[in-house]
Structure 1
Amino acid sequence: MSANYAQIDPIDNLIVAIDNLPQGLKTVVNGEEIILKENIKSKHKFAVKDFAVGDEIFMYGVLVGKAVLPIQQGEAITTENIKHASADFNDSNEKFVWTAPDTSNFEGRTFNGYHREDGSVGTGNYWLVIPLTFCENRNIDVLEGALSEKLGYETKKDFAVDTDALIAQYKAGASNDDIYNTPIIATKEEISKNRLFKNVDGIKFLKHDGGCGGIRQDSEVLCNLLAGYITNPNVAGATIFSLGCQNAQIEMLEKALEAKSNTKPVHFLEQQKSSSERALIEEAVKHTFVGLMEANKIERKPAPLSKLVLGLECGGSDGFSGISANPSLGYAADLLAALGGSPVLSEFPELNGVEQNIINRCVNEDDAKKFSSIMRSYSAAAVAVGSGFEANPSPGNIKDGLITDAMKSAGAAKKGGTSPVVEVLDYAEKITKPGLNLLCTPGNDVESTTGLAGSGCNVIVFTTGLGTPTGNPITPVLKMSSNTELYEKMNDIIDINAGTVITGEDTIQTMGEKVLDHVIRVASGETPSKAVVKGHNDFIPWKRGISL
């Protein structure tokens, strides 16, 4: 990689500008001198040769577009002169041989987690309060108001007001001066220090807009997702609110829990069978309090790295994401796979153009066929509503150099590393196998991270080039920047800086090792992810409509 520009793969006929490059600059690619015909912005690309209309354009070693106008050598690649194009793929896979990375720096390493009855290990210990339908969201709010602050858990405000202290002073006959001298403001940090249940990381309230209306399949998918949250290693148990008449019936969730071999306590409350709202809330508070008492008995203990289930996510990507953050995360995923852990690659619309590579890496033929079937049906469904995978790049992606979906996808796929694919899972299916898993989620960041946690991920690393505050209620989400400028600008929500790969201070390998080391510290509760510190609890179930 030059200090100013880079060719990512030897067959690429696009060059990435690392810095802003001025018109007239002489560059040398594969021994050939190229003079830039115009200014090239950082993260954008220029042509390594002349292109005629219809010529194929390659980046990351794969087809990412076709020329729609003549392009001269040294000209910028834009949305005006190329269009999306991706390679065809076969359902059958070829023989795949993988060389695992050197894991010697991690041999014998452990993390301190919460050991569950089913053999999984949590990186957190949460109690869930869940409505089966949006009609119960109000009751969820009541329970949150009754429990969170009082028990020392997060508040949505930067501070809490202890009015109870003033009431106690008044009842004790305090003077005006006594009232004025009584401290009543507590910060989030002070609230957490007063946490009653030291081994319980929080109570999470999963409000949503589903469970009724829509189509019956939406409720089935929702129940499968909620069952995945309850059985996630980071969860100790749950309190469930049901109205009674909604599509997402209690029996539907019970069936989903049984299918996932649930061993955790789950308390169901049906409002239409309760004598009053007051009685419903009283019962819910008591069930939840007792559940917290039991959850508090579990303490962190050492666990092998093979118990890590690592979600691989990206969002707000830029022209550097596929060069620094994504391949570094991919190397960390390869390390984890070699150590017996389970990295999980999601966002199927962002695998468009690299399908054959994924298919060839599938360990068994059934998974290869399942992946190709999901990709073809997903693509067809998008086309049926007048869209397509080519509509995936956002305005922010395009502005920062990702101008076709295949270009974006080829970079996004790098976060999956190079290891064999051990299983292909549809949305809300449970991760059970060590090695790289593929999970069908949409490209929507929060719908995807919601799905990763629902399939069992106990940690998620989220790469970004533009910045995002995305988090998850139960699974710590570590944000990783593709460039140093973003890391410095949004340091309050970004955990890891992969911009050092761009500047040459790190290689993909050294940064990958840093990523895994950070994951281990977060998994052990030693270093909280900034999304957890900020209380970013994003939860959006996917209704299986077209979401790119």
Structure 2
Amino acid sequence: MNKIVKIHAADNAIVALTDLYPNEVVTVGEENITITEVIPAKHKFALTDLNTGDSIFMYGVLVGKTTANIKKGGLLSTANIAHASSTFSIGERKLDWHKPDVSAWESRTFNGYHRADGSVGTANYWLVIPMVFCENRNVEILQQALVDELGYGKSNAYRNQAEAIVDLYKRGSSIEDILNADINANAQKQRSERLFPNIDGVKFLTHNGGCGGTRQDAQALCGLLAGYITHSNVAGATVLSLGCQNAQVSILQEEILKRTPNFDKPLYVLDQQATGTEADLLSSAIKQTFAGLIQANQNTRKPAPLSKICIGLECGGSDGFSGISANPAIGYTSDLLVALGGSVILAEFPELCGVEQDLSDRCVSVADAERFNNLMTVYNEKAEAAGSGFYMNPSPGNIKDGLITDAIKSAGAAKKGGTSPVAAVLDYPEKVSKPGLNLLCTPGNDVESTTAEVASGANIVLFTTGLGTPTGNPITPVVKIATNTKLFNRMRDIMDINTGTIIDGEETITQAGERILDYVVAVASGEIEVAAVRHGQDDFIPWKRGISL
């Protein structure tokens, strides 16, 4: 295993792959460098002596400025580095890319759920959605009424633990006895057989929007909900409306037709104020939902080309290895899928700070380049006005594990998008309509961004993490990819794939990217249940277009 890596020829920040200690000598290219202080794994050290105000480069781009003198071999940290990034403008189109060899996948298919609009789902869900937070309680009552009866409930191992502890307490056990009791959590299991074997589940999406905000918030929420209802992984939906909220059913219907003009899925809309009593509303909702499930169960998995896969690219709990293992690995997976005619979505605009010029230049059309530049500029200006520019994006966990400036984090995060041209630039919550790489304006917040990518059409999400993040989605499998082997082994219950093999020298980025695509095909066919689905990790947070980094 190598001890260090220089990512780009222009870099003067070198990444430590393992802990380095004072007086240890490492070789960078043809030069021997003596380490002057402890450099923890994932962190960076200076390639040369640096003076205050000097530029720091990683991934070949500007990622910071020094705020103090730094000796060659010295640690780069928040104590001596501040965020800095290059300006960007409309430049020449740079659309040439090294299209990977996809001969091994050209004849491959996955077994998915074919929809009338031509899309193909990797799963088959029914949705129950409130138009406004006032209906959340009714949605939760429907969840309590339907989940177990339909066979989608799971035994709660932790409830079993609590019952055992209560029993110990009733029998007079001491606190010490309770704390030392050997009560293990067993894996969750299905309580009963599914009534509808071709339906993966009924998902109940609650939220805190729909009224009380701006009209723009209501429009965006309706667009997001329409993205879920029209999604290839959704068979139909039950919608609960109070009646008087800003997010009117008519707006939802308009947004549905924007995305699918010939929409024909079962859709049941119930208005509580028009219906009358809560009992009448819920009774109607149960009967209509059941009728929809009978229809949805008639759809079965059938072969489809890999071009029908749309991958959302996400990272969360990132570390100093994210940009050199998991992110470039799924970047290669992205290039493979684009070459096969599929679609990928790169989002999290605050985490593209510093790489705007490259992405702008890769936009096929100048109009898209201008749109991307404008979205980035306006977003950052609003954040600055609120006192939190993009430079505030790295979390304490990011910083602790080596991502000390937003530009360092962003340069590594952008690797998820591979090298292909940018086919389209989308604003939240628009839907993907072109194959290829799509840029989608979302926050860096893991759940808000994943929620948005799925609304835009992602039927698989690849989620890289260096610290461990359990995020999932109600309707789309979220594949959790560890950047390092220690994390994969420590949190194996929520991880699906390990790319620490790249850091360990056991695998190349290309090999990992190919392995991930094979895994994606198996997940898309329903052959593998990812950890987030197994644990029922149904995270759903709409973005209200406020300042969220």
TM-score, structure 1 normalization? 0.94
- Counterpart in 1 of 2:189? 189
- Counterpart in 2 of 1:437? 438
Q: Residues 282-321 of structure 1 correspond to what in structure 2 (within 5 A)?
A: 282-321=283-322
C-alpha change, 1:286 and 1:188, in structure 2 (3 Å) is: farther
Q: Residues 129-140 of structure 1 correspond to what in structure 2 (within 5 A)?
A: 129-140=128-139
- Aligned mates of 1:312, 1:188 — CA distance in 2: 28
- Counterpart in 2 of 1:421? 422
Partner of 2:75: helix, strand, or coil?
coil
- Counterpart in 2 of 1:86? 85
Cα drift, residue 160 of structure 1: 9.6
The one-letter code sitting in structure 1 at the alignment partner of 2:354 is G
Cα drift, residue 428 of structure 1: 1.1
The one-letter code sitting in structure 2 at the alignment partner of 1:447 is E
Structure 1's consecutive aligned runs of 4 or more residues displaced over 2 angstroms after TM superposition are: 91-96, 154-161, 186-191
Partner of 1:54: helix, strand, or coil?
coil
Cα drift, residue 189 of structure 1: 2.9
Cα drift, residue 546 of structure 1: 0.5
Q: Residues 171-186 of structure 1 correspond to what in structure 2 (within 5 A)?
A: none
Partner of 2:280: helix, strand, or coil?
helix
- Aligned mates of 1:158, 1:424 — CA distance in 2: 45
- Counterpart in 2 of 1:505? 506
Cα drift, residue 368 of structure 1: 0.5
- Aligned mates of 2:298, 2:511 — CA distance in 1: 39
Cα drift, residue 92 of structure 1: 3.5
The one-letter code sitting in structure 2 at the alignment partner of 1:83 is A
- Aligned mates of 2:514, 2:19 — CA distance in 1: 30
Is the Cα contact below 8 Å between 2:154 and 2:190 reproduced in 1? Answer: no
- Aligned mates of 2:91, 2:131 — CA distance in 1: 41
Cα drift, residue 104 of structure 1: 1.8
- Aligned mates of 2:232, 2:464 — CA distance in 1: 23
Cα drift, residue 34 of structure 1: 1.1
Cα drift, residue 98 of structure 1: 1.2
Cα drift, residue 154 of structure 1: 3.3
- Counterpart in 1 of 2:246? 247
Aligned-residue identity in percent? 59
- Counterpart in 1 of 2:234? 235
- Counterpart in 2 of 1:167? none
Cα drift, residue 444 of structure 1: 0.2
The one-letter code sitting in structure 2 at the alignment partner of 1:280 is L
- Aligned mates of 2:304, 2:158 — CA distance in 1: 36
Superposed CA deviations along residues 450-492 of structure 1, whole A, max 9, x for unmatched, are 0011111100010000001100000000000000000001100
Partner of 1:83: helix, strand, or coil?
strand
- Aligned mates of 2:519, 2:51 — CA distance in 1: 47
Cα drift, residue 43 of structure 1: 0.4
**Which piece of structure 1 moves more, 491-500 or 211-220?**
211-220
Q: Residues 264-283 of structure 1 correspond to what in structure 2 (within 5 A)?
A: 264-283=265-284
Superposed CA deviations along residues 349-368 of structure 1, whole A, max 9, x for unmatched, are 00000001001111111111
Superposed CA deviations along residues 312-360 of structure 1, whole A, max 9, x for unmatched, are 0000000000000000000000000000000111100000000010011
Q: Residues 49-60 of structure 1 correspond to what in structure 2 (within 5 A)?
A: 49-60=48-59
- Counterpart in 1 of 2:171? none
The one-letter code sitting in structure 2 at the alignment partner of 1:435 is G
- Aligned mates of 2:355, 2:327 — CA distance in 1: 15
- Aligned mates of 1:298, 1:326 — CA distance in 2: 35
Q: How many residues align?
A: 522
- Aligned mates of 2:420, 2:313 — CA distance in 1: 14
Superposed CA deviations along residues 219-243 of structure 1, whole A, max 9, x for unmatched, are 1100000000001100011000000
- Aligned mates of 2:158, 2:71 — CA distance in 1: 59
- Aligned mates of 1:133, 1:190 — CA distance in 2: 31
Is the Cα contact below 8 Å between 1:160 and 1:187 reproduced in 2? Answer: no
TM-score, structure 2 normalization? 0.93
- Counterpart in 2 of 1:201? 200
Partner of 1:58: helix, strand, or coil?
strand
* CA RMSD of superposed structures (Å): 1.4
C-alpha change, 1:428 and 1:420, in structure 2 (3 Å) is: same
Partner of 2:76: helix, strand, or coil?
coil
- Counterpart in 1 of 2:175? none
- Aligned mates of 1:332, 1:259 — CA distance in 2: 30
- Counterpart in 2 of 1:178? none
